[in-house]
Structure 1
Amino acid sequence: MTDTGAGRALVTGAGGMLAHDLVPALRAAGWVVTALGRRDLDVTDAAQCVAAVEGHDLVVNTAAYTAVDAAESDEAAAFAVNAVGAANVARASSWAGARLMHISTDYVFDGVAREPYGVDHPIAPRSAYGRTKAAGEWAVRALCADSWVVRTAWLYGAGGPNFVSTMLRLAGERETLSVVDDQRGQPTSTVDLAELLLRLVAAEAPIGTYHGTSSGETTWFRFARAIFEESGLDPERVLPTTTGAHTRPAPRPAYSVLSHSSLTSIPVAPIADWRDGIRPYLTSVTRPPQR
């Protein structure tokens, strides 16, 4: 593996939002990329994983069961992809001598901290989704010694449904929107995350766990207001509400701010402030009608 990215890379979950930006970024960096979506590769099938990974130098596992609420009533389905699937990809990567980059989530934490979670903070998932992703992390570390785990959160991008696109759509449908103001996190563009992953690869970062989120922190309410401001809409149309007013099957972390100290110690530059990612995203989507 070289700094120019000369080599073969496999991206699983290629139909997902992150892969939408990661695959072209890898190719632009000089990698020959095999992009396999769910129809091309069933990560729950160990034999398929072995065949898919063969001949690759780098594997980026973005395949995941991300239906957070649905996982509460069908944890087995989430476990099959997020834990068993991760184990299959990790084992295949180890056998093939490929370095593995596995994407995980802030949901492995309990969400009750008062300061940013470090990579070594004890995990304590409170949802089925979080438990299955935590199991996937364990499998990757146990089965592929040459691996990175990169946790991210509050992702949005042009490759799939996300909070920004939802706010833009609702802005054209409603006079006002109520958005929770008691959950804190780091809105992260998939473009920015893809670039961070490339920086980790290029730096030949030590194996281990890293946090791939934007710098700074905000609430969903403040994030929504920033989206309106950047879109030329009146941010006063966004009103604050509480998590308790919107009951959902899976508990949402109240605090999802992740520390980037493991990046800066390498050193690899973390992603810039969360607000910097909004405007570039807005140029790639259709803006709502002005009201």
Structure 2
Amino acid sequence: MTILLFMARRLAGVVATLLVTSIAIYAALALAPGDPATALAGGTVPDPARLAAIRAEYHLDDPFWTQYWHWLSGLLHGDLGTSVVYRSDVADLLAGRTINTLVLVCYAGLLIVGLGIGLGVLAGLRGRRVDTSIMITTTMAMAVPTFALAIVLIWIFATQLSWLPIYGSGDTFTDKLRHLTLPAIALSFSYIAYIARITRIAVVTELRSERVDTALSRGLPYHAIIRHHVLRNAMGPILAISGTVVASLVAGTAVAEAAFGVNGLGSLLIQSAQRQDLAVVQILSMFMVGVFVLVNTVVDLVNVALDPRLARGEQSA
């Protein structure tokens, strides 16, 4: 019952967060300079009758809350609006790009979780030499910006070795993986280092805890102590931070997608913001916030499943 209540409160928080976010995004873009009616007419000054028809069609002369309700109700019914620049439904515009971005984010997320946690556990459990080597390497890796690493990756793996393609998104799933390998590495590189450092701290903290000392004094096998006491208890904060990092990747794909010519949501957001394509910017902003909130909620639920005491603590807080 406690876990169900925890889930209900988390889901209610998701709905409230998305609602407040939608109001903030719509208000911010409504205050942007320029006349939306003129933009919808093609950027030129149209006939006054045509301008009035556009304002009536898109409810541009209505009060703010009326405009917001028309936009939100349309969004809830699957009407994402019309792109001013591309002259097409936003839903059609996002269809192919969403798959490319999600594959890229999942690819980078697997690299972050797998390599980051693996290196962190290795640094925390091995001797001083391995620990020092990994910490020095991860410190340097965290300082490398995505665009700089993208240039290096293109020069090494495409120009010098000709192993991987450097432009486009690919067609089949296997082809997509080949095209998105370098973007995924560039996107995940500094995050791998960050998660490795967080994991190492969590593992070392658990190794120095009283529960580990008690288990050692009872003569329990070292590998069992590591598996049942150290890794299990360290995994909570590691998963929480990893979930936040992976969720933030959706908003961070723009640089990698632009560097490698990936036809994804991040590059579309930059192009739409530059061209003041407000309908596209609104939907992409909502999508990125929604992914971030949902992923973090899933991580919270996983942590509660691993340690039900968290739900009781949440209830009593």
TM-score (norm 1): 0.24
Q: Which has the higher contact order (CA 8 A, sep 6+)?
A: 2
Larger strand proportion, structure 1 or 2? Answer: 1
Tell which structure's C-alpha radius of gyration is larger: 2
TM-score (norm 2): 0.23
Larger helix proportion, structure 1 or 2? Answer: 2
